[in-house]
Structure 1
Amino acid sequence: MKKLLSIVTAIFISISCFAQSKYGNPEVDPITIQSKFSDWWAYQNKKIMLSRDFTPLDSLSNAMTKEAFLEELTKGNFIPIRLLSEEAIYNYKLFKIKPDSDTSIKATIVQEAFDADKNLKMEGTAFPKFSFKDLDGNIVSNETMKGKIVVIKCWYIHCAACIKEFPHVNALASKYKDRKDIVFVSLAEDNPQQLKVFLAKRPLSYSVIPNMKIYMNETLQLNAFPTHFILDKEGLIKKVVSNYESLEVALAKESKM
C-alpha cells in the first residue's frame, strides 16, 4: 500500500512539475507582490492586461477558458500573475490572495475582472446602430463604415488615462494611414466647443464625435475609460480593450484578416 502511495505521489509531482515547466515560473513572487498596494499596482498596471489575448491557467497550471479565468477573479480570491515566457507570449496564472493583503488589491482586481468580462461578452456581437456628425460635419454611421475595419476610442477630456495615450493612438492611426479599409473614430463625452479648444492643444488623429456621454453610458454601458473597440467589415465587435498596447496587437491581427 505504501509503495502504491509513493508511486501515485511521484506521478502527481511529475504532472505538477510538467505543468509548471511547460508554462514557466511566475515573473514576480506572488506573495511578495501583495505586500504593498503600490508595488502590486505598479506591476498590475504594466504587466497584466485582461482585455488582451492570453493563455489562462488555474492555480494548478491547468489551461482554462478566459471566461472561467475572469469569473474566478471576480470572486476576489485570486490575483493574476504572468509566467516567464517570450515577449509576445502571455500566460496568466491564478494565485491565491493572502488573507492579510491590502483590501484595495482585491477590490481593484474584482473591478478590473468585471470590466474585462463585460467587454469579452460584447465580442462577436453587432455594434449598436449609430449615425452621428463628427466635428468636421461628416456623417459617421453603420452605413458609412460598412466594408471597413473600424477602430473606436471612447474618452472624455478630463480622463487622464485617455489623454496620456494620445501620442500612441495617433502613431497607430499614422501607421495605417494608407489602409483605406481601416478608419479611426472617437466618441467623446464633451461638447463641440470644449473639444475644439482642447484638441487645438492636444490633437487626436481620429474623427471626433462630440456629445456621446449618453450613448456611451446607456447604449454601450461603459463604466471604464478609455475603452477601444475594433469592428470587422461586417460591423461585428471583434475586440474590446482598455489600453493602446492591447489595441495595437488586436488591430495588427484584424488587419491581416
Structure 2
Amino acid sequence: MQKFFSLITLLFIFSISSAQNKFGNPEVDPIQIQKTYESWSVYQNKNIMLSRDFTALDFSSKEISKEIFLDQLANGNFIPIRLKSETGIYIYKLFKIQPKTDTSIKATINQIGFDAYKNYKMEGLAFPPFSFKDLDGNLVTNESMKGKIIVIKCWYIHCAPCIREFPQVNKLVEDYKDRKDIVFISLAEDSPEQLKTFLARKPLSYSVIPNMKEYMNESLQLNSFPTHFILNKEGMIAKVLPNFESLEVALAKESKL
C-alpha cells in the first residue's frame, strides 16, 4: 500500500512538472533581465507585444485568459517573458518581480499593463459616432466609411513618439495603396493653421482631421499618444494599439479577414 501511494505521489509531481514545461522555457533569464531598467526596457520593447494574440500563462504556468493576464500586469508584481516557441507562436508567462529590482520597472509595467488592459476592453465595441472634416474639406462620417477597414492615428504636433513614426506609417499607406477598402485617417489635437504649417515640413500620408482634442479626451478617453485604432468593416473596434510595430502586425491580420 505504501508503494502504491509513493507511485501516486510521483505521478502527481511528474504531471505538475510536465504541465509547467510543456510550453517551453523562457527565452531570457527572468531574474537577469531585471538587473537594470535599461536591459529590461530593451527586451520589453523588442519582444513583448501585448496587443497581439498570445497564449497567457500565470506565474505557475497555468493557462489564463488574456484579460486576467493584463490585469495582473496592471495591478500585480510581475513581468511578462516570452517562452521559446515556433515562429509565429507567442506564449507569454508572468514571472515575479524580484525584491531588489528597480522600482521603476514595476511602475512602468503597471502602466503598460493598464494601457493594454484598457485597449483590450475596447475591442469589439462600436467606435463612437463621428462626422469630421479633414484639412482638404472632405467630410468623413461613420456612414461614409461603412464597408471599409479604417485605420486611425491619434496624435498632436508636440508628441515626439507620434512624429517619430511618420516615415513608418507613411510607408504603411504606400503598402496598402491598392486596397480601396482600407482608409487611413488621423485625429490631431491642433488647429488647421498649426497643422498645415507643421505638415509642410513633416508630411503625413493620412487624411488629417484638426481640432480633435475634445473628441479624443471625452469620446475616446485617450491618455497616451500615439494611439492607433483599427475599425473593421462593420465599424467595430478590432484593435487599439500603442505604436507602429503593433499596428503593422494587426493590420496585416485584419486585411486578410
Q: TM-score over 0.5 for the alignment?
A: yes
| One-letter amino acid of the structure 2 residue matched with residue 240 of structure 1 | V
Deviation at 1:115, TM superposition (A): 0.8
Structure 1 residue matching 2:68: 3-state secondary structure = helix
Structure 2 residue matching 1:43: 3-state secondary structure = helix
* In 1: Cα distance, 2:28 partner to 2:13 partner: 23
| One-letter amino acid of the structure 2 residue matched with residue 231 of structure 1 | L
Q: Which stretch of the first structure deviates more once superposed, 174-183 or 44-53?
A: 44-53
- Are the counterparts in 1 of residues 20 and 62 from structure 2 also a CA contact under 8 Å? no
Deviation at 1:92, TM superposition (A): 0.6
| Cα deviation digits, residues 35-87 of structure 1 (max 9, x gap) | 11111111112211212221111112221100010111122311101112233
Describe how 1:216-227 pairs up with structure 2 within 5 A.
216-227=216-227
Matched with 1:207 is 207
Residues paired across the two proteins, number: 257
- Are the counterparts in 2 of residues 31 and 98 from structure 1 also a CA contact under 8 Å? yes
| One-letter amino acid of the structure 1 residue matched with residue 88 of structure 2 | A
Deviation at 1:215, TM superposition (A): 0.8
- Are the counterparts in 2 of residues 16 and 60 from structure 1 also a CA contact under 8 Å? no
Matched with 1:180 is 180
* In 2: Cα distance, 1:167 partner to 1:12 partner: 55
* In 1: Cα distance, 2:157 partner to 2:2 partner: 69
Matched with 2:129 is 129
Describe how 1:79-94 pairs up with structure 2 within 5 A.
79-94=79-94
Matched with 1:229 is 229
- Are the counterparts in 1 of residues 184 and 206 from structure 2 also a CA contact under 8 Å? yes
Deviation at 1:14, TM superposition (A): 2.8
* In 2: Cα distance, 1:181 partner to 1:27 partner: 39
Residue 28 in structure 1 maps to residue 28 in structure 2: yes
Matched with 1:113 is 113
> Can you give the 5+ residue segments of structure 1 that lack an aligned partner in the other structure?
none
Query: What TM-score do the two structures reach when normalised by structure 1?
Result: 0.94
Matched with 1:18 is 18
* In 2: Cα distance, 1:115 partner to 1:222 partner: 10
- Are the counterparts in 2 of residues 76 and 109 from structure 1 also a CA contact under 8 Å? no
Q: Which stretch of the first structure deviates more once superposed, 90-99 or 188-197?
A: 188-197
Structure 2 residue matching 1:23: 3-state secondary structure = coil
| One-letter amino acid of the structure 2 residue matched with residue 236 of structure 1 | M
> Can you give the 5+ residue segments of structure 2 that lack an aligned partner in the other structure?
none
CA RMSD of aligned residues (A): 1.6
Structure 2 residue matching 1:230: 3-state secondary structure = strand
Structure 1 residue matching 2:22: 3-state secondary structure = helix
* In 1: Cα distance, 2:87 partner to 2:159 partner: 30
* In 2: Cα distance, 1:12 partner to 1:152 partner: 51
Matched with 2:161 is 161
* In 1: Cα distance, 2:105 partner to 2:58 partner: 19
| One-letter amino acid of the structure 2 residue matched with residue 252 of structure 1 | A
- Are the counterparts in 1 of residues 58 and 93 from structure 2 also a CA contact under 8 Å? yes
| One-letter amino acid of the structure 2 residue matched with residue 77 of structure 1 | N
Residue 65 in structure 1 maps to residue 65 in structure 2: yes
Matched with 2:43 is 43
- Are the counterparts in 2 of residues 155 and 162 from structure 1 also a CA contact under 8 Å? yes
| One-letter amino acid of the structure 2 residue matched with residue 213 of structure 1 | K
* In 1: Cα distance, 2:20 partner to 2:168 partner: 35
Identical aligned pairs, as a percentage?
A: 70
- Are the counterparts in 1 of residues 150 and 185 from structure 2 also a CA contact under 8 Å? yes
Structure 1 residue matching 2:67: 3-state secondary structure = helix
